Chain A
């Protein structure tokens, strides 16, 4: 059983006269303890989906359950209690600008009726966790984007939630700061056991921290699975586009020389820890040139794809294909 279960979810918006379908037939679970990524292009419906997980937005049809309880069945006060178990952070941080850093962190405790002293103690612990102990009296306007997001994370964790929803939490940050926020999220996941849902349009964010990923496109889930599997061989067209970039799409312009043959090699993490291409050239004594390469390191292993131009000699072509097969690298000719 997942900590969050989504079943047959559909969301329609009524804009003027026409209906806009933001989400359609969405069914999936988020497992306790995992970091789950949801990726998609702008307008795919990611924010709508994540906002339904804490019922900031209500589905048009379908069900959202948290720890087995259908959110639609809850009273207002029960729903507010559930929301205290589900923290949320945002792209624009959404801190209280007129309130000091520490008071921002105590805010969720204050509205839960927790005493001032206890709240301050908890807030200080959390500010220590996010490495901002020296900023407790500052106001948000004096902080950098990364610091603001760390305050937001501390605030979201104040009520000891079981799940943390992150809607484009790193999209407003530079790569280095993104890295810091992602490792903080990973730490929160591992050390505090918080299940994390990450919404992003950046593939690199998924690669770095997520265990599983769902690819959302045009209001539907096109693909879902372990990050490693999806990255190795994305099945959906949108998945291939997001992971390998536009170059490998069949419909994308591919300037092949007439008469030449090209081979696409797909790497998974198991083979690329040795220099497969160098070994191949040394062993087969065939000359190949790399036409296109796009590999990424996931969990310390290289995955991705490579396109090589084959020698003209069909004998040599066969030797290369045999070698790759023996080495466990999947390859196929580019049409």
Chain B
């Protein structure tokens, strides 16, 4: 029998990794997404050079499999958090992997904003900064929350994967107790717990998205 306490600690770690990584990734991803949107061909300040460069970097990071990235950035992780094992050590690779992904999500949410509304703001003498903060990010809020639901659950999935290299959390429990010790019960329980957490996060963010949408 596996100690109940083990699960509680694992759940806490999973939440810690997921939420902290998501928060940091959004802090990085939103400005990147705004920059992608703004410098695109029909953006506020089109700049092909900046857009293409940024776009390439984002695509490169997005195409590296997470497990490989996790190992590649070990030296960076060591510098930032002082260790390469445990829940904390998973945060840097998660952030590096999720930020470009979130940047794309943000870019696509902003693109959904009707061009006419931006034009109207311009006609009122709004600066580009005002258009970004008061029009784009506000009008796209529901879509940004839907994006968050997808991003955060994806990050949760990645965090579980990090268990494979001693990353802590539910994935770690599943690997160590469920896989190596061939304990099917543990395997099953961790999977169920992960499903429940994904459902929970998904419905919270979808709920916020729906609540925030004044068009409905």
Contacts A/B (CB < 8 Å), 22 sampled: A54-B123, A82-B125, A83-B122, A83-B125, A84-B124, A87-B124, A90-B120, A92-B116, A95-B117, A96-B138, A98-B212, A98-B213, A98-B214, A98-B215, A110-B134, A111-B124, A111-B127, A112-B125, A139-B215, A140-B214, A156-B124, A159-B124
On whether the beta carbons of B120 and A94 are closer than 8 Å, the reply is: yes
On whether the beta carbons of A107 and B125 are closer than 8 Å, the reply is: no
Q: Pick from A81, A139, A165 the residue with the most CB of B within 10 Å.
A: A139
B126 interface hit (Cβ, 8 Å): yes
State whether A111 and B125 are in contact (beta carbons under 8 Å apart), knowing that A95-B117, A98-B141 are contacts in the complex: yes
In the complex, which of the residues B119, B123, B125, B135 contacts A96, with contact meaning CB atoms closer than 8 Å? B135
Please indicate the chain B residues that have their CB under 8 angstroms from the CB of A141 in the complex: 214-216
- Minimal Cβ-Cβ distance residue in B for A92: B116
Closest CB of chain A to B111's CB: distance in Å? 16
Interface size on A, residues (CB 8 A): 32
Closest CB of chain A to B38's CB: distance in Å? 15
State whether A94 and B119 are in contact (beta carbons under 8 Å apart), knowing that A110-B134, A139-B215, A141-B214 are contacts in the complex: yes
On whether the beta carbons of B116 and A90 are closer than 8 Å, the reply is: yes
B172 interface hit (Cβ, 8 Å): no
On whether the beta carbons of B127 and A98 are closer than 8 Å, the reply is: no
A86 interface hit (Cβ, 8 Å): yes
User: What CA separation (Å) do A97 and B215 show in the bound complex?
Assistant: 6
A99 interface hit (Cβ, 8 Å): yes
A88 interface hit (Cβ, 8 Å): yes
Please indicate the chain B residues that have their CB under 8 angstroms from the CB of A139 in the complex: 214-215
Closest CB of chain A to B120's CB: distance in Å? 4
Please indicate the chain A residues that have their CB under 8 angstroms from the CB of B13 in the complex: none
Please indicate the chain A residues that have their CB under 8 angstroms from the CB of B122 in the complex: 56, 83
B114 interface hit (Cβ, 8 Å): yes
Please indicate the chain B residues that have their CB under 8 angstroms from the CB of A96 in the complex: 117, 135, 138-139
- Minimal Cβ-Cβ distance residue in A for B115: A94
B92 interface hit (Cβ, 8 Å): no
User: What CA separation (Å) do A90 and B120 show in the bound complex?
Assistant: 8
Q: Which residues of B contact A (CB under 8 A)?
A: 114, 116-117, 119-127, 130, 134-135, 138-139, 141-142, 212-216
A80 interface hit (Cβ, 8 Å): yes
Closest CB of chain A to B32's CB: distance in Å? 23
On whether the beta carbons of B139 and A80 are closer than 8 Å, the reply is: no
Closest CB of chain A to B213's CB: distance in Å? 7
* Further pairs besides A54-B123, A56-B119, A111-B126: 12, Cβ < 8 Å: A81-B125, A83-B124, A83-B125, A90-B116, A95-B120, A98-B138, A98-B139, A98-B212, A111-B121, A111-B125, A159-B124, A159-B125
Q: Map CB proximity to B onto A32-61 as digits: 1 under 8 Å, 0 otherwise.
A: 000000000000000000000010100000
User: What CA separation (Å) do A314 and B214 show in the bound complex?
Assistant: 74
On whether the beta carbons of A83 and B123 are closer than 8 Å, the reply is: yes
Q: Pick from B119, B123, B135, B216 the residue with the most CB of A within 10 Å.
A: B123
Closest CB of chain A to B115's CB: distance in Å? 9
State whether A98 and B142 are in contact (beta carbons under 8 Å apart), knowing that A111-B130, A139-B214, A141-B216 are contacts in the complex: yes
Please indicate the chain A residues that have their CB under 8 angstroms from the CB of B134 in the complex: 107, 110-111
Q: Pick from B122, B124, B141 the residue with the most CB of A within 10 Å.
A: B124
Closest CB of chain B to A164's CB: distance in Å? 11
User: What CA separation (Å) do A318 and B213 show in the bound complex?
Assistant: 74
A108 interface hit (Cβ, 8 Å): yes
